A = this chain, B = another copy of it.
Amino acid sequence: MPNLKLTLAYDGSDFSGWQVQPATQTIQGVLASSIRRITGEKILPQGSGRTDAGVHALAQVATFATESPIPVGNWLTALNDILPASIRVLRAEEVPADFHARKSAKSKTYRYRIYRPAICPPFLAHYVWHYPYPLNEAAMQQAAGLITGEHDFTSFAAVDPEREKSLNHEGHEGTPRENRGEDSNVRRVSASRWLRDGDEFVYTVRGSGFLHHMVRNLVGTFLLVGKGTLAIADMTEILEARNRSAAGATAPARGLCLLEVEY
């Protein structure tokens, strides 16, 4: 039974996130119903991780096993013919049976865009956080470096009623479970930086995995450093507190985009 890997781009604006839910449109749900229209199979493709409502992806990865005899080269066109224009399959390829979008992932890269000028062009409104107020961008750049390495990111994890939900949300389990236990909030961040890109101030972060809301909570906390509410070194203290209430508010979903999943 062929195991297929899809690389997907999507505009999350009109979806209630990745994960299939009853009575609402999700990326996973639309993908599943498109596969069903093509092969008749009732398959739930597995993503590298969930993205929340309004979060975008340039290259999300999903895997699923199919019994269909459709040649792998035809899947891309077949799916793109059926999917809405807001979801595009960029690549479809056959992978070994033990390859799994989430479990096989080594790391993921997210980007968060802040738009700085006074007036935000209407064409960017779904893709950036418009924040035209003063920010000490140099301080935010310094603070970003302090979270690299292996840390317990509990202070930046959403406090979810369902523990399991939190574990799989916005990230996979990069470190094998046996090494740290089911409940660990330890993640390894290999890159974390803010860069000016024209009118935008852009945060890029790569890590072994991300807890639910982790990137958006990091951005919300860096913003407090930019405003001067927090000092740069406070980032380290907040990490050590292992307490969600120590960190800043959750930045809006629309500025966030899953850039890449590394295997």
Contact = CB atoms under 8 A, between A and B. Distances in A.
B11 A122 contact: yes
Interface string A62-91: 000000000000000000100001111110
A88 B121 contact: yes
Contact of A88 (B10, B80, B85, B122): B122
Interface residues of A, number: 19
Contacts of A127: 123
Contact of A123 (B56, B119, B120): B56
Which of A80, A87, A88, A127 has its CB near the most chain B CB atoms (within 10 A)?
A88
Contacts of A125: 11, 85-86
Contacts of A9: 121-123
Which DSSP category, helix, strand, loop or mixed, fits chain A's interface? mixed
A119 B59 CA distance: 13
Contacts of A88: 119-122
Contacts of A80: 119
B86 A10 contact: no
A10 B90 CA distance: 29
Interface string A45-60: 0000000000010000
B85 A120 contact: yes
A141 to B, nearest CB: 26
Contacts of A122: 9-11, 85-88
A119 to B, nearest CB: 5
A129 to B, nearest CB: 11
Contacts of A121: 9, 88
Contacts of A123: 9, 11, 56, 127
A11 B88 CA distance: 22
A123 B257 CA distance: 12
Given A9-B122, A88-B121, 20 more contacts: A9-B121, A9-B123, A10-B122, A11-B122, A11-B123, A11-B125, A56-B123, A80-B119, A85-B120, A85-B122, A85-B125, A85-B130, A86-B125, A87-B122, A88-B119, A88-B120, A88-B122, A89-B119, A90-B119, A123-B127
7 contacts: A10-B122, A11-B122, A56-B123, A85-B120, A85-B122, A86-B125, A88-B121
